[in-house]
Structure 1
Amino acid sequence: MKPGARAKKKLSTQDRRVLARWAADCAEHVLLYFEKEYPTDDRPRKAIEAARAWARGRTTVGEARKASVAAHAAARRAKDVAARAAARAAGQAVATAHMAGHAPHAANYAAAAAGAAGIAKEREWQNQRLPKRLQ
């Protein structure tokens, strides 16, 4: 789904709830990249939980927005590219409660997190094969 792809169509609350669940799934799939770097910072995880709670009708848009702001604050703190993108994915996922257009951004940030992690993994593999004296 491309950002803004559904922006022209007014979505029902039920459709927004489905998008929020999907966005939360996307964000949760890459959350490990944030939690690996910042194991004591639970703001992105709480944002994903808030997205799911909103999708079930168990929290307000206002509470969801607070969770989004917190996840984005965690992203600003993150030095690691994959961790930062994972936190942004969580922030965008929960922001879907406010506006459906945030859902595809969650997916895009999740893809960026996975891509950045893949690059880091490839560099690690390369460096393991390069003699220490040449690194």
Structure 2
Amino acid sequence: MAEDASEIVLSKQDLREVAAFAAACAETVLGIFEADQPNDSRPREAVGAAWEFARGGERGKALRDTASAALKAAKGAETAAAREAAWAAMSAAGAAYLHPLAKSTQVKHILGAGAYAARAAELVAGDDRAVGAQSLERTVRRAAPAVVDVLRRFPAAPDGGGRVGELIRVLDAGLRSLPLGV
């Protein structure tokens, strides 16, 4: 079945709310990356850029550059958990670039940082999926009503994407099940 690619209305404030949510998610696992790569500040800088945008900064080169740098930092990580933590940071900086298209693939811009953070936590705990589930529960509680409202404008998260894709779908379902306005 083809997806409707109609446009969704997104304000700059909507994007700021999504970026703040993503930054808060990624921030929880920065220590995992920093324990692996103590001299590499690129993921922290990406999260900082996401916070800066969320607090009123511009959506521009700094966000794109720090997202790209966090992606490069992930490639240099020694452990899978550190890579996932860097990807969470990359996703936080990229959250501001949520496209206003009614496509399920856009949900990753909203929920990617939370899913990568949950995966990093799982891996640190020896691939314990209960730890990932607990992380997602905290992430659902962290979401402001404005983030849930934005998410509900998009189709449900798509299939695929391995374990992170699965975590995105669990997070998506959890947030969509919240009462309206919560």
TM-score when scaled to structure 2?
0.59
Q: Please tell me the residue identity of whatever aligns with 1:112.
A: R
* Alignment match, 1:130: none
Over aligned residues, Cα RMSD in angstroms? 1.9
- Extract unaligned runs of 5+ from structure 2: 1-5, 100-105, 129-182
Could you say which structure has the greater relative contact order, defined with CA pairs below 8 angstroms and 6 or more residues apart?
Answer: 1
Deviations 1:93-117, CA, capped at 9 Å, x for gaps: 1101222642311111111101111
Same amino acid, percent of matched pairs = 42
Q: Does residue 113 of structure 2 align to residue 114 of structure 1?
A: no
On the 8 A contact 2:42/2:66 being kept in 1, the answer is yes
State which structure, 1 or 2, has the greater radius of gyration over its C-alpha atoms. Answer: 1
SS at match of 1:119: coil
Mapped partners of 2:18, 2:123: distance in 1: 24
Q: Secondary structure at the match of 2:98?
A: coil
**Counterpart selection for 2:112 from 105, 112, 115:** 105
Tell me the equivalent position of 1:44: 43
How many residue pairs get matched? Answer: 115
Matches of 1:20 and 1:27, distance apart in 2: 10
Task: Tell me how far 1:57 sits from its aligned partner.
Answer: 2.0
List alignment gaps of at least 5 residues for structure 1: 1-6, 122-135
